[in-house]
């Protein structure tokens, strides 16, 4: 049973683009779709998600970051090879809409990192304190959002594991990265007990829809939090 593993739909792939190593199969293929390009690989099986396979998937998607438009698929999006054309035809309207919404844009993630790295288990659980901490985090995130002055953003609390306590993802025009970093810098400099760390730019994983994927496809969180995070600036 031959599968087609899908990485991304691309509009205006730069001339001279060269694919990085694939997650599966022997190479990353370019498949034409009426003005668009589908990046994919032929494979008999999709391996389980792991730090290595997530990183390879991300590297292929990010290799097209300079394209006019880029809609990334989540890890594990795969179809029977014989079903690819039909699925792409059915999803064409959604793909065009997604491309229009992120055309010329990238995603920036602003991570909020706890500076006190003492294990949470070392202190007794205090629901009132936890609620107050969450309010302070959200107030900090709201200040970042206000300073960023961008219409499209997503706030995500990260729970208690590790020192990343929350993050805010922004969709911004590719040419505004330096201005964006300058706008949020005053908030970062005044934050107490929390480091404000921009990372990216990334493909717009947080700002594209969940497509009507076939049963063979599986989803995983976007691999933007892997150890090889690229810090902005």
User: How wide is the angle at C-alpha 140 spanned by C-alphas 112 and 74, nearest 5°?
Assistant: 45
Rounded Cα distance between 117 and 221, Å, is 24
Structure tokens at 24: 């599966």
Rounded Cα distance between 135 and 72, Å, is 33
The ranges of the chain annotated as CATH 3.30.70 are 105-202
| pLDDT tens for each residue of 192-231 | 889 999 999 999 999 998 765 554 544 333 444 444 455 5
Please, which pLDDT band fits residue 158 given cuts at 50, 70 and 90?
confident
pTM, 2 dp: 0.81
Tell me: pLDDT of 150 over 90: yes
Polymer length of the chain: 233
**What does residue 35 show for φ and ψ, rounded to 5 degrees?**
90, -10
Tell me: pLDDT of 32 over 50: yes
Mean pLDDT of 72-98: 91
- Which 3 state secondary structure label does DSSP give 135? helix
> 91 burial class (0-12, 13-18, 19+ CB within 10 angstroms)?
middle
Is the domain spanning 105-202 CATH 3.30.70? The answer is yes
């Amino acid at each position: 049973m031959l599968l087609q593993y899908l990485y991304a739909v691309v509009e205006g792939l730069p001339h001279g683009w060269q694919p990085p190593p694939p997650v599966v199969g022997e190479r990353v293929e370019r498949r034409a779709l009426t003005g668009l390009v589908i990046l994919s690989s032929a494979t008999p099986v999709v391996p389980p998600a792991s730090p290595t396979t997530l990183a390879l998937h991300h590297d292929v998607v990010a290799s097209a970051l300079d394209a006019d438009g880029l809609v990334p698929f989540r890890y594990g999006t795969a179809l029977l090879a014989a079903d690819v054309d039909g699925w792409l035809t059915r999803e064409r309207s959604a793909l065009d809409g997604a491309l229009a919404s992120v055309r010329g844009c990238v995603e920036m993630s602003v991570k909020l990192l706890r500076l006190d790295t003492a294990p949470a288990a070392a202190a007794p659980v205090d629901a009132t304190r936890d609620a107050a901490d969450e309010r302070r985090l959200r107030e900090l995130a709201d200040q970042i959002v206000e300073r960023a002055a961008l219409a499209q953003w997503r706030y995500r609390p990260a729970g208690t594991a590790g020192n990343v306590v929350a993050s805010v993802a922004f969709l911004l025009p590719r040419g505004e990265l330096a201005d964006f970093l300058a706008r949020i810098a005053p908030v970062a400099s005044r934050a107490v007990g929390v480091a404000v760390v921009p990372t990216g730019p990334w493909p717009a994983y947080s700002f594209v829809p969940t497509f009507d994927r076939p049963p063979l496809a599986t989803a995983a969180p976007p691999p933007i939090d892997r150890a090889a995070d690229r810090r902005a600036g």
